[in-house]
Amino acid sequence: MSDFDNKLAQHVSGLSKEKQPERDLWRGIELGIASQQSDASNEESSPSTVTSRQWLAIAASVCLVTVLWFAAPFVFKSDESRSSGYALIDAMSSQQQQQVNSLLANYESTPALTQDWQEQLKELDDAADVIKAALKDDPDNSALIKMLHHVYQQQIALIERVHAPKWQQI
């Protein structure tokens, strides 16, 4: 053993085996028991004191109200919220129609490169109508909104390609 270990062992052996309290503990225990008994008798006589069961009932009520507060918009989704969600689709459609009309007015004097471009435009229009019909049932479906946006982009690209192809631009 090292010198440190020897000294530590001597100090440990010199300590007493029992720890004695520095003051009389019975007086504190007696006062604690007496105060608990007086608190219990006050609770029984005082109607304004809230018991642990009452606190539990209050906590459960608060939890229930909180859950209902957050879940209610999803459970009670009304037709009004669906129509407000579809307002974005209506705005998007009217903006697209204005843009298509503007492009067609700009390219009115420019001859088209192909003859069947109007049929292709009509097919894209029909595809947009089908997607909008599906969006009436689920106006918050992001995949359908993206598909509609893509169809609208294809319509604009078709009009531009037919009337002003990239190879004609300098």
Backbone angle region of 119, left / alpha / beta, with phi > 0 → left and psi within -120 to 50 → alpha: alpha
* pLDDT tens for the chain, residues 1 to 170: 688 889 888 888 888 777 777 778 788 888 888 887 776 666 555 556 667 888 888 888 888 788 777 777 666 655 555 566 678 888 889 899 999 888 888 888 888 888 888 899 999 999 999 999 998 888 888 899 999 999 999 998 888 888 876 655 55
- At 14 the pLDDT is 83
pLDDT in the model for residue 45? 53
pTM of the predicted model as reported, rounded to 2 decimal places = 0.50
Structure tokens at 141: 């479906």
User: In this structure, are residues 91 and 152 in contact, taking their beta carbons and an 8 Å threshold?
Assistant: no
